[in-house]
């Protein structure tokens, strides 16, 4: 905005000179006594600022204080002194995790790799399927039939992680006889996808099945619910666009390619940013409930690694909260860089940004 002289000068007829306008006097005053002005505004409007206080306090206490606690990863921790009284030890925990080459360090690298693999597979399979599902929903012209499909596919989203993982554990459970194994294991064995021995061993005890179980249950749980936003974007497309394409002789595929896809692209971009942003926020609860010592090879992620080696340690095998914090710190910093990076790219590429 360009400032013109008329905005801050007024002509004083009595004296015959130009003077600062009253508004400009206020503006200058605000500039000179900024904090006094802030104080006055807040006092005048104190009710509004009071409303903000409980929320800010909750975030301060239980979101930002843990970040301060996280600084323990730079300190020597003996689990007794508060973080403020510990000595600065620099990057020794990070060096230990990344370079030591002992069992703990190998475990950390494995957890890091698993985190990336699990989230990358989740992106590859978990992201496109809701879009495809939304396209399918769009084909169902009868409202009643569509409601039935939607009600059923959203249903698993309401189930808790505990209920879901308990169900999974029961559906693929181990048994001494194949007829006693979980119903899904039995079906897979019956169809010849897995051997009878595998079915009897329990799929959750086999490292090679963990990733598939994790992804398939994730799709089962979330695909229907995640399709809502894409479906909303698809039904917002005007029917005349389809008609125009049909007149031009577009078949279904061409309609998808030239009508539907461009119309929902901005939604896809936004959802993709969100997805990439939370890429490393692997649901530790789900992993923690599904994995066991036999499947650490493929299942252990950074959060569960940190948990198991500190607060969740059994029998004095704790590596200390400083080391665990260092592991989580690396994970979360990479995660944050991913959010900022994907958001910046999206802003440049398509002018849509989430934050």
Partner 1 sequence: MKRKLEISELIFKIISYTLLAIFSLACLYPFVYAISASISGIHAVEYGEIVLFPKDIQFEAFGRMFNNNMFWNSYSNTLFITLYGTLFSMVTSILGAYALSKKRLLFRTPFNFFLVFTMWFSAGIVPQYLNYLDTRAVFNKIGIMDDKWLVVIAMGMAAMNIILLRNAFEGVPSEVEEAAIVDGATEMQVLTNVFIPMSQSTIATVALFFAISRWNGYFWARQMISNANEHPLQVFIRLQLENFTNPEVMAGWNEPYASDSVIYALIVCSIVPILIIYPFIQKYFAKGTNVGGVKE
Q: Which is nearer to partner 1, 10 or 275 (CB)?
A: 275
Dist CA 73 CA 331 (whole Å)? 13
With CA atoms as reference, report the closest residue to 112 among 94, 124, 136. 94
Q: How far apart are CA 294 and CA 201, in angstroms?
A: 12
- Widest pairwise Cα distance in the chain: 106
The radius of gyration of the chain from alpha carbons, rounded to an integer in Å, stands at 29
Q: How far is the CB of 209 from partner 1 (least distance, A)?
A: 17
By beta-carbon proximity to partner 1, the closer residue of 25 and 151 is 151
Phi, psi dihedral angles at 19 (to 5 degrees) = -130, 160
Residue with tokens 């940004």: 353
Two structure tokens written together for 280: 């490393």
Question: Minimum Å distance from CB 316 to partner 1?
Answer: 17
Distances (CA, A) of 172 to 32, 80, 126, 204, 207: 71, 43, 22, 7, 14
Identify which of residues 20 and 340 has a Cβ nearer to partner 1 in the complex: 340
Measure the CA–CA gap between 173 and 184, rounded to whole angstroms: 9
- Cα–Cα distance between 187 and 142 in angstroms, integer? 33
Instruction: Report in angstroms how near the CB of residue 328 gets to partner 1 at its nearest.
Output: 3
Q: Give the nearer residue to partner 1 in terms of CB position, either 18 or 109.
A: 109
Nearest approach in angstroms of CB 102 to partner 1 is: 20
Q: Are 269 and 277 in contact (CB under 8 A)?
A: no
Local structure of 17: helix, strand or coil:
strand
Phi, psi of 193 (to 5 degrees): -75, -35
The SS3 assignment for 88 reads strand
| Rounded CA separation 262/270 (Å) | 14
Q: Residues 209-243, buried b or exposed e (16+ Cβ, 10 A)?
A: bbbebbbebbbebbbbbbbbbbbebbeeeeeeeee
For every residue of 185-198, which 3-state class applies, written as one string?
HHHHHHHCCCCHHH
Q: In angstroms, rounded to a whole number, what is the distance separating the alpha carbons of residues 324 and 201? A: 33
């Amino acid at each position: 905005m360009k400032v013109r002289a008329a905005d801050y000068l007024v002509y004083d007829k009595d004296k015959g000179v130009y003077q600062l306008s009253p508004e400009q006097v206020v503006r200058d005053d605000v500039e000179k006594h900024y904090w006094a002005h802030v104080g006055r505004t807040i006092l005048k409007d104190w009710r509004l600022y009071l409303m903000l206080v409980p929320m800010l306090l909750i975030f301060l206490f239980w979101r930002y204080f843990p970040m301060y606690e996280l600084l323990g990863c730079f300190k020597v921790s003996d689990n007794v002194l508060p973080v403020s009284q510990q000595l600065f030890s620099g990057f020794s925990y990070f060096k230990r995790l990344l370079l030591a080459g002992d069992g703990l360090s190998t475990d950390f690298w494995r957890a890091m790799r698993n985190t990336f693999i699990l989230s990358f597979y989740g992106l590859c399979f978990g992201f496109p399927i809701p879009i495809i599902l939304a396209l399918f929903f769009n084909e169902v012209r009868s409202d009643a039939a569509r409601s039935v499909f939607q009600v059923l596919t959203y249903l698993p989203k309401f189930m808790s992680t505990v209920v879901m993982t308990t169900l999974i554990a029961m559906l693929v459970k181990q048994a001494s006889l194949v007829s006693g194994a979980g119903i899904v294991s039995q079906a897979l064995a019956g169809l010849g996808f897995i051997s009878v021995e595998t079915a009897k061993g329990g799929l959750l005890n086999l490292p090679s099945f963990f990733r598939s179980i994790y992804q398939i249950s994730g799709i089962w749980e979330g695909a229907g619910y995640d399709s809502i936003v894409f479906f909303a974007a698809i039904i917002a497309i005007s029917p005349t666009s389809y008609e125009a394409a049909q007149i031009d002789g577009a078949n279904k595929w061409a309609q998808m390619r030239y009508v539907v896809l461009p119309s929902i692209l901005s939604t896809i971009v936004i959802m993709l940013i969100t997805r990439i942003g939370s890429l490393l926020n692997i649901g530790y609860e789900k992993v923690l409930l599904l994995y066991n010592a036999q499947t650490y090879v493929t299942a252990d992620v950074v959060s569960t690694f940190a948990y198991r080696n500190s607060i969740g340690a059994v029998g004095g095998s704790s590596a200390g909260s400083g080391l665990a914090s260092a592991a989580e710190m690396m994970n979360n910093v990479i995660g944050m860089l991913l959010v900022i990076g994907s958001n910046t790219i999206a802003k440049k590429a398509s002018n849509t940004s989430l934050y």
